[in-house]
Every structure is written in structure tokens, then in C-alpha cells.
């Protein structure tokens, strides 16, 4: 269970988040949508202990991320790509991440195989394509066999086969009882995989619920998104 309650974040006089509440439930994929600057990244960073809230709570199984022992065994995340230094080999990067969380080294080969990088584990990250870097970030998120996955734009740079693969990965994780919180700008992909939606704009949640309820009365999820957020389609495309 990922639970965020009445989250507030201020930076000086600017209110970044205002009374944001959401839940991502086990066995379900929750899509987290919003225009650029809406507060998605700030919310996820607070949930993952990378930033502090001004008020409110962000809990993983009832506990703050910072209090989790070996957190990658509870929640795997990917924000801003792979997070690996360009000069480091992929295997070495994953081995370091595993060691930091008490994860057996054998998991490195397992996740490289799982994400389709078994043949590129000794390649330096600087030689990876954008899509390969995304796969490496997912490998790190999967290392601890976590209950929950928190992913920001995981299909960025992936080819059609890769997008289809990650769709199956997320659906399979949820169907096995895991929790998935997915932030993405790709409406079609979210519509394909999500059970629930949370839509944020201007630092506030504007709607949340099962995807069918959120999109009721709209031809597509994209239409619902622009209507609910007041976003300009041409501006969002920029």
C-alpha cells in the first residue's frame, strides 16, 4: 500500500503541493497523471524520501521510506532514467545497488535477463541507448523483488516491442498482488494498463478513482485529461 495524505510542499512563497492525497492499492496499477509542473515529481520524490514535505504524510506499508530497512526489498523505483554513472558497467552498477540493500548478487544476472540486457551487462552505461538506459533503471527497481513499484515515465525511449514488454511487466506485477504507481505522459499506454487514476493539476488532485469512472462521458482518456486539468493540448505537446 502506498498512501499519501494531505501532502503540502512549499518552496519559499510558492505552493508546490496543496493537500494532495492518493492511494495505490495492492493488485492494481495506479496511473498518476498531470501536466508538466503539476506536482507529480515532487509527490514521488517525497514518497521516496528524496525530499521533505512541509506537511502531511507519505507512507509505504504504513511507514516513511526513510524508516525502511533495505528499502529496495519493499519498493522499487525509477525516476530520471537509470541513475547509473556513464563510465560504469551495467553489471557493476547493479551489483553496487544490490550490495547497498543486502540483496544477493545472483539477482543481478536475473534482472538483466528479465529486462533484456543479459548480453549487455558488461557494456559501459555511456554506450547505452535511451531505451537501454530505461531498461537498466527498471532492472535496478526490480532487484529486491519489491512489493511496490514507483515508476516515472518508464517507457520513455523504448521501441514498440519494449513498450509492449513493460506493459506486460506492470500488469503481471499487479496481477501477482503487487502495487504499481505509474507516472506517464503517454495517455494511450496508461489507458492500456491502469486500473485506477489520480490526476493532478496546479499542485492539487483534481480527480481520482477507477479508470472507468474518471473517463466516463469522455471519448478517450486524453479528452478527459485535458478537460479535467484545463491543459492546452498544443502547450502540453511542447
Q: Rounded mean pLDDT of 22-36?
A: 97
Q: How many CA atoms lie within 13 A of 227 on its CB side?
A: 12
Q: Tell me, what's the pLDDT at 235? A: 41
Q: State the pLDDT at residue 107.
A: 96
In this prediction, residue 231 carries a pLDDT of: 62
Residues 18-29, mean pLDDT to the nearest whole number: 97
Give the span between the Cα atoms of 11 and 52, in whole angstroms.
11
The mean pLDDT value for 183-197 works out to 93
- CATH code, residues 2-74+147-237: 3.40.50.300
| pLDDT given at position 82 | 65
Query: Which residues lie closer than 8 Å to 231 by C-beta, 6 or more apart?
Result: 35, 201, 225
Averaged over 220-234, what is the pLDDT? 81
Q: What is the pLDDT of residue 85?
A: 86
Residue pLDDT, tens place only, 152-163: 999 888 889 999
Q: How far apart are CA 129 and CA 139, in angstroms?
A: 15
Q: pLDDT tens digits for 164-180?
A: 999 999 999 999 999 99
| Cα gap 20→140, rounded to integer Å | 28
Average pLDDT over residues 99-114: 94
Q: Give the model's pLDDT for residue 167.
A: 93
What DSSP string describes 3-37? Answer: EEEEEEEEETTEEEEEEEEEEE-TTEEEEEE--TT
Express each pLDDT in 76-104 by its tens digit. Answer: 999 976 678 889 999 999 999 999 999 99
**Cα 29 to chain centroid, rounded:** 11
Q: How many CA atoms lie within 13 A of 119 on its CB side?
A: 1
Phi, psi of 163 (to 5 degrees): -65, -45
> Does the pLDDT of residue 236 top 70, yes or no?
no
Q: What percent of the chain has pLDDT over 90?
A: 86
pTM for the whole thing? Answer: 0.92
Name which of 50, 39, 57, 82 is nearest 183 in CA terms: 39
182 band by pLDDT with thresholds 50, 70 and 90: very high
Strand-by-strand arrangement of the 55-60 sheet: 14-24, 2-11, 55-60
Question: Across residues 12-37, what is the average pLDDT?
Answer: 96
As a whole number, mean pLDDT of residues 131-158 equals 93
pLDDT tens string 40-61: 999 999 999 999 999 999 999 9
For residues 83 and 207, the model is more confident at 207
At 193, is the pLDDT very low, low, confident or very high (cuts 50, 70, 90)? very high
Residue ranges covered by each domain of the chain: 2-74+147-237, 83-145
Q: Which residue is associated with the grid cell 498518476?
A: 32
Amino acid at each position: 500500500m502506498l498512501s499519501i495524505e494531505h501532502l503540502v510542499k512549499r518552496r519559499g512563497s510558492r505552493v508546490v503541493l496543496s493537500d494532495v492525497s492518493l492511494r495505490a492499492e495492492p493488485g492494481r496499477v495506479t496511473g498518476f497523471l498531470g501536466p508538466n509542473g503539476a506536482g507529480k515529481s515532487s509527490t514521488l520524490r517525497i514518497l521516496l524520501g528524496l525530499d521533505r514535505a512541509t506537511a502531511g504524510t507519505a507512507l509505504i506499508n504504513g511507514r516513511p521510506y526513510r524508516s525502511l530497512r533495505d528499502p529496495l526489498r519493499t519498493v522499487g523505483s525509477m525516476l530520471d532514467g537509470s541513475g547509473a554513472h556513464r563510465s560504469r558497467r551495467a553489471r557493476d552498477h547493479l551489483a553496487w545497488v544490490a550490495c547497498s540493500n543486502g540483496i544477493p548478487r545472483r539477482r543481478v544476472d536475473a534482472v538483466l535477463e528479465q529486462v533484456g540486457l543479459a548480453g549487455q551487462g558488461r557494456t559501459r552505461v555511456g554506450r547505452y541507448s535511451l531505451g537501454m538506459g530505461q531498461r537498466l533503471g527498471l532492472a535496478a527497481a526490480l532487484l529486491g523483488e519489491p512489493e511496490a513499484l514507483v515508476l516515472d515515465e518508464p517507457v520513455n525511449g523504448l521501441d514498440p516491442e519494449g513498450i509492449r514488454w513493460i506493459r506486460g511487466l506492470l500488469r503481471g506485477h499487479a496481477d501477482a498482488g503487487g502495487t504499481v504507481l505509474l507516472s506517464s505522459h503517454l495517455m494511450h499506454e496508461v489507458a492500456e494498463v491502469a486500473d485506477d487514476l489520480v490526476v493532478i493539476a496546479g499542485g492539487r488532485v483534481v480527480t481520482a478513482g477507477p479508470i472507468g469512472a474518471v473517463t466516463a462521458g469522455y471519448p478517450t482518456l486524453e479528452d478527459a485529461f485535458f478537460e479535467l486539468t484545463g491543459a492546452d493540448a498544443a502547450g502540453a505537446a511542447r
